[in-house]
Amino acid sequence: MVQYETTRLDASFAALSDATRRGVLEQLGRSDASITELADKFHMTLTGMKKHVGVLERAGFVTTQKVGRVRTCRLGLRRLEEEAAWIESYRQVWAARFDALDEVVEQLKRREKIDG
């Protein structure tokens, strides 16, 4: 069953709460990129992009590797967490449906009582 570690979840949501960081993940989903390339792409300073990548890295969304003078960023290995989040969102769809279905069932039961 799906269980989250709260602090981990907090870090994930904090990391994803920023539009630039979501954009960076989307970009890295297409291809790995250096911090310089990401800074250019998002019209930011190198320092600003380093901070964003740092947040994503601490949350486990991104890993970085320095080769020579270039730090390359790629998507982190979060498949399990991704799956947990995906399954949780799917569960919530069903939970919402079934709460609505409860009401329909209650109404049908009342109708049966009236009709005898």
Interacting residue ranges for another protein, rule: CB under 8 A: 1-2, 9, 12-13, 16-17, 22, 25-26, 29, 82-83, 85-106, 108-109, 112
Q: Which is nearer to another protein, 48 or 86 (CB)?
A: 86
Q: How far is the CB of 116 from another protein (least distance, A)?
A: 15
Least distance to another protein, CB of residue 32, Å: 15
Provide the minimum distance between the beta carbon of 42 and another protein in the complex, in angstroms, as a whole number: 16
Question: Which CA distances in Å does 23 have to 28, 32, 70, 110?
Answer: 9, 13, 21, 51
Are 21 and 52 a contacting pair, CB within 8 Å? yes
